[in-house]
Amino acid sequence: KQEVTQIPAALSVPEGENLVLNCSFTDSAIYNLQWFRQDPGKGLTSLLLIQSSQREQTSGRLNASLDKSSGRSTLYIAASQPGDSATYLCAVGASYGKLTFGQGTILTVHP
Amino acid sequence: DAGVTQSPTHLIKTRGQHVTLRCSPISGHKSVSWYQQVLGQGPQFIFQYYEKEERGRGNFPDRFSARQFPNYSSELNVNALLLGDSALYLCASSLDWTPYGYTFGSGTRLTVV
């Protein structure tokens, strides 16, 4: 059974800092790994998707890496802004479409 | 182009009642998946439907059921509601059954009292 863990559970940083969110998973037989953003009471917005054969993906100030052998992924956010404040969720994709989510990291960026 | 539409947005039900949640996928998407998100936790997989057939089921009791219609919209039904069913129910649509290109709706907030 796939289990996904995210560390830290919450993070508060001043504006402008670079930060790293961590995700670990127990079964390395994954289809892909995705990072989502969730604003309070809202649905999920896809940020980055890394296929199982890839090592990293970048979009603007976001960079996500994947190490399947060690069961780890990191999301790097450069030059954080107050608008980045949200919950960040890591999800592992199985071959038949199921996503297994971590519990999320609540990020607060204060001015 | 409209995104994934879920209705209703909020719902309050009493223990023991039945509830039906609805989801309309993005035009052209043939797969719909349902997730339950309890406050403070990540979403948990309930069902996936593709071309009107169930492709996957999560670890939920038989009180939970779903179906997909010929226009690819979907319903999630929950019978004999328990307090623990209170959650945000998320629908996601995608082109096919693989875990790519998911677009999530804004969810239905269900409160059971």
The predicted-structure confidence for B12-71, as pLDDT tens digits, reads as follows: 999 999 999 999 999 999 999 999 999 999 999 999 999 999 999 999 999 999 999 999
Half-sphere exposure of A3 (CA within 13 A, CB side): 3
User: Which of B41, B48, B100 is the closest to A98 by Cβ?
Assistant: B48
Determine, for residues B99 and A104 on separate chains, whether the beta-carbon distance falls below 8 Å. no
Chain A touched by B105 (CB under 8 Å): yes
CB contact under 8 A, A97 and B4: no
Of B35, B9, B7, B21, the C-alpha closest to B93 is B35
First-to-last C-alpha distance (Å) of chain A: 41
Q: What does chain A look like in DSSP terms, one character per residue?
A: ---EEEE-SEEEEETT--EEEEEEES----SEEEEEEE-TT--EEEEEEEETT-SEEEETTEEEEEETTTTEEEEEE-S--GGG-EEEEEEEEPTTS-EEE---EEEEEE-
| pLDDT recorded at residue B96 | 85
Q: Tell me the shortest Cα–Cα distance from B23 to chain A, in angstroms.
A: 13
| Residue A44 near residue A35, CB atoms below 8 Å | no
Whether B1 has a pLDDT exceeding 60, the answer reads no
Residues of chain A with a CB closer than 8 angstroms to some CB in chain B: 4, 6, 31-32, 34, 36, 41-46, 49, 89, 91, 93-104
pLDDT tens for residues A49-83? 999 999 999 999 999 999 999 999 999 999 999 99
